[in-house]
Amino acid sequence: MRSKKTLLTIFLIVFIDLLGFGIILPLLPFIAKKYQANPAQIGFLIATYSFFQLLSSPILGRLSDRFGRKKLLIISQLGSALGFLILAFANNLPLLFLSRIIDGITGGNISIAQAYIADITDKKNRAKGMGLIGAAFGLGFIFGPALGGVLSKISYSAPALLAAFVSLITILTTMFFLKETVNVKKVVDNPKTKFNLDELKRVFSIPNLLFLIIIFFLINLVFSLNQGNLALWTEKTFNYDALKNGYIFAYAGVLTVIVQILILPFLLKKFNEKTILKIALFNLFLSFFLILLAKNELIFYLALTFMPLGNGLANPSIQAIVSENVPKEEYGGTLGFLQSAGSLGRILGPIIGGEFFYYFGKDIPFLFASFILFFVFLVTLRKKFF
């Protein structure tokens, strides 16, 4: 593994990037309401980011395979800063959508950061490196919304301006502290680094890869399917208000960071990534199943403990396994496909979960998630898939 300084730099870049995103996310509905947006329009506004991230992740990843990680990171971060600036000065709904489209397109740069980690780590340390990105995610989502809430007392433009500022910090950090890891002269003419339908078919034909992408999609689907319903479930079950639900998400966020910084490295000393993925899937199943059984808050918080444990172990394990199945010059594009699958899950999850909750009752989304996760866990136990 390369120097810890390089890994720390990538960690800071992703953290600051997600901090900017987290600052904005909770405020979007209120900003949209200011311009008379109806609930459906607000839902589309929130989904816009994930939709365009789905489209852009494999493209940005593949471009970084051809033209270099550092260059594409800087370009994508400039796009994020532009998106935040448009949001800060938007005076109508179309401009709000434009800001989220731009930020969604450039938000695909997470796949570039993951490819950079894959470049600078060996197989033994890769999952640990991917865990650092997950920890940066968690910290960004812990501090971002709180900071955005405080700044919203000044104005709705203030959080967006701060998000633009922190994006500029990531640009400077990338320019001065990151070294290029791609030999551009060597790979630019390599047909495997080009993006077309034939290349897409070839990537999906790699043994185990499509299976791992489907698992990643399903994990993100069930996680987001219930993420949007959890606050409504606790309100109906325990009469929690917005403040108590805020504590729940903060608790889960802190646990996610602990899992990826402390527990994941410990487990990697004893097990390989494939075994850890199976452990993660069982923990995720257990968390959603326990929510179904939770008649008191003790069982509920026990369920919440298993959830970030499973999610915090699953994502870096899958990312590490995927990168081990492809050549180095294809890390960016392949991890981009993986992120697109995750984005698709995050788009469909809230829609499916909301429909289940509304038409069939508060427990059905968690029952559905439990069934999916247990099925995937059983499938991964079959050795032929690995």
Ramachandran region, residue 72 (left: φ > 0; alpha: ψ -120 to 50; beta: rest): alpha
pLDDT tens-place string over residues 221-234 = 988 877 667 777 88
Identify whether the C-beta of residue 99 lies closer than 8 Å to the C-beta of residue 83: yes
Does 188 map to a domain? no
Q: What is the pLDDT of residue 1?
A: 45
Cα torsion 245, 249, 250, 251: sign: positive
Look up residue 262 and give its DSSP letter: I
What is the residue whose two structure tokens read 């910290």?
Answer: 139
Residues 57 and 164 in one domain: yes
Residues 293 and 156 in one domain: no
Residues 135 and 39 in one domain: yes
Residues 168 and 246 in one domain: no
Residue ranges in the chain whose pLDDT is less than 70? 1-4, 25-26, 29, 39-40, 43, 108, 184-204, 207, 227-228, 242-243, 246, 383-386
By residue range, what is the domain housing residue 150?
Answer: 1-177
Residues 258 and 167 in one domain: no
Identify whether the C-beta of residue 109 lies closer than 8 Å to the C-beta of residue 59: no
- For 59-96, give one letter per residue: b (16+ CB within 10 A) or e: bbbbbbbbbbbbbbbbbbbebbbbbbbbbbebeebeeb
Tokens representing 330 are 């294809």
pTM: 0.77
Q: What is the pLDDT of residue 3?
A: 59
Identify whether the C-beta of residue 114 lies closer than 8 Å to the C-beta of residue 190: no
List C-alpha distances in Å: 31 to 27, 37, 42, 100, 246.
6, 9, 9, 12, 20
123: domain CATH number is 1.20.1250.20
Domain final position from 114, 148, 177: 177
Domain final position from 146, 177, 208: 177
Number of domains in the chain: 2
Q: What is the pLDDT of residue 289?
A: 93
Does 225 map to a domain? yes
Domain final position from 145, 177, 209: 177
What kind and span of H or E run contains 191? none
